Amino acid sequence: MSGERATVGRADSVFAGSVPKLYETLMVPMIFQPYAEELKERVAATNARRILELAAGTGVVTRALATIENEALSIVATDLNQAMLDQAMAVGTARPVTWRQADAMALPFAGGEFDAVVCQFGAMFFPDKPKAFAEARRVLRPGGVFIFNVWDRIAENEFADTVTTALEGVFPGDPPRFMARTPHGYHDPELIARDLTAGGFARPPRITTVAARSRAASAREAAMAFCQGTPTRNEIEARDASRLGEATAAAAAAIERRFGTQAVEGKIQALVVVVES
């Protein structure tokens, strides 16, 4: 990775300041909750007792996993960003969870320690995906399962696509491209399969496309979520911090034009990947 790409990668992984709170209150219910429940059902079906979660963020999947009816269940939830974990801990879970700051590419756990490794919408942020996948495989017991999801292409995710296009009008010379570049930049099943093989997974993954609906109380709320509750905010402020409000308003207007003036609803779509160690 070049120095420039490395810098972009680090910036795309920064969830700090007011971003974690806005992420939890706006982004989580709007786009993450449906997939958290879907992942929970997949994990529950494996009867895993020792679960490691990567890139737990503010804990939407952690909270879902904590409701699995298995008294022997233990959950370790990790994230690179301590601010996100702090927000997750503030919300709490239905059962005790071990929270730990950790880099997915250098996990501080022994080999074979877990029955399942789970990651919701985090793999796109890993600078070296085969290395992160190798770490997931290393900490899985033989026959354990790695379950993760990634967003499909941005065109299949209507709010994200609308906001990204709107920001091109605000910053035409250098538009913020975080959403297209990172959250929606890792959607090729063949590439995912190759990266898993490079990470040491010998069995072929099962990759399923799962569509859902994203809902927000208003266009303004959806725009706030994307422009101020994700690292898109970092990109906007890097260009001109005084224009954050203007950029958010432009995004809100674009969502309103496409989806209406009341509560809004749009398509979201992801790929769910299941692979055994």
| pLDDT tens, position by position, 195-209 | 999 999 999 999 999
For residue 220, what are its two tokens? 């303004």
**Residue 267 amino acid letter:** K
- Residue 2's pLDDT is what? 32
In the block, tokens 């999801």 appear at 149
CA distance 174 to 179: 14
First to last CA, the chain: 28
At 5 the pLDDT is 36
Q: What pLDDT is recorded for position 165? A: 98
Taken in order of first residue, the domains within the chain and their CATH numbers are 3-276 (3.40.50.150)
pLDDT reported for residue 19: 72
C-alpha count within 13 angstroms, C-beta hemisphere, residue 267 = 13
pLDDT attached to residue 16: 46
What pLDDT does 22 receive? Answer: 86
Q: What residues of the chain score a pLDDT lower than 50?
A: 1-8, 14, 16
